[in-house]
Structure 1
């Protein structure tokens, strides 16, 4: 682990702070008219999901943690646990479905995901940013309505609601951005 100054913290950094592992979500550098500059950091605990806002001055030292990334294949879900397999060693890893949060519906059988480890402890799961889904319910296509920049609601095969352009119809495959939960393009 490396010690860094408080003003070097960037979003995505994993820090050891107050006996826990925290991911920096938002960082804003503040230079008040009176007093020294500081970094206002919004952090999320990687083990229990708690959030914390903390100020770090440039002279504060913080432990930056490096996580190991492993690409693993999703096999199945059982009793609220997600089962992944390492494609090199064929070892299976069991993780809580809560680690994915609201992105859980986008996880598909056989999908490759990146699991971040701290030592032997799995902390988070990253799925691909773009996933192909099928529209199971939406309003019919209306001719002549494609010129306006309007959207209509659609329900995907995984139960997620997204807004799609009017020219996209039912039973079509689309690409969905899993971070923004929005339509990206036709598949």
Structure 2
């Protein structure tokens, strides 16, 4: 148990029927008149839904222990992603539904953070940007550089994103894992 005065970003709370909520933002408010309160923005750990919730200052809230470990993606086994713990070398099979959009950027050997609560995998978190190779894209049209246009490109994972016209097949690029945006070329 923790007090609402102890809230900080990233803290996971157990609220409303045992659901896990992560604190995204919090603000202690002391109005001129009336009691102090804490305004928070909470994100549901499983669904990703974000809600605003206000607590009275000093109220006790139940916290949840979330174990975050760095793991390496090893291989796919049907609908399961197999990750290996880098310290113990234990393997963990994670369902595609739990991996979610991170599956679009996972290549064998990539490291990710796997969050668990009481033995259940909650989510897989990738770094903000990853380096991937363009598997297929159409050649850019000569002379069409001033418009700053984009074209579709397929990454080595099979995920499709938009890239600038000058990018060619086989190039290594940096991609934002949160938005699927092209960030730039990778200098070899």
TM range (shorter): 0.7 to 0.9
Residue 74 (structure 2) pairs with residue 75 (structure 1): yes
Shift in CA distance, 7/160, structure 1 to aligned 2, threshold 3 Å:
same
Question: In the aligned structure 2, how far is the partner of 1:28 from the partner of 1:168?
Answer: 44
Per-residue CA distance 1:125-172 (angstroms, 9 max, x = gap): 222332222223333223343344332222223222212112112332
Query: Who is 2:93 aligned against?
Result: 94
Conserved in 2, the CA contact under 8 Å of 1:176 and 1:185? yes
Conserved in 2, the CA contact under 8 Å of 1:4 and 1:64? no
Q: TM-score, normalised by structure 1?
A: 0.77
Conserved in 2, the CA contact under 8 Å of 1:30 and 1:40? no
Q: TM-score, normalised by structure 2?
A: 0.77
Conserved in 1, the CA contact under 8 Å of 2:4 and 2:57? yes
Shift in CA distance, 139/28, structure 1 to aligned 2, threshold 3 Å:
farther
Query: Who is 2:126 aligned against?
Result: 127
Question: In the aligned structure 1, how far is the partner of 2:124 from the partner of 2:38?
Answer: 31
Where structure 2 has 5 or more consecutive residues not aligned to the other structure, the ranges are none
Question: In the aligned structure 2, how far is the partner of 1:73 from the partner of 1:62?
Answer: 34
Per-residue CA distance 1:51-105 (angstroms, 9 max, x = gap): 3633333343323334222222222222322221223322211222212212212
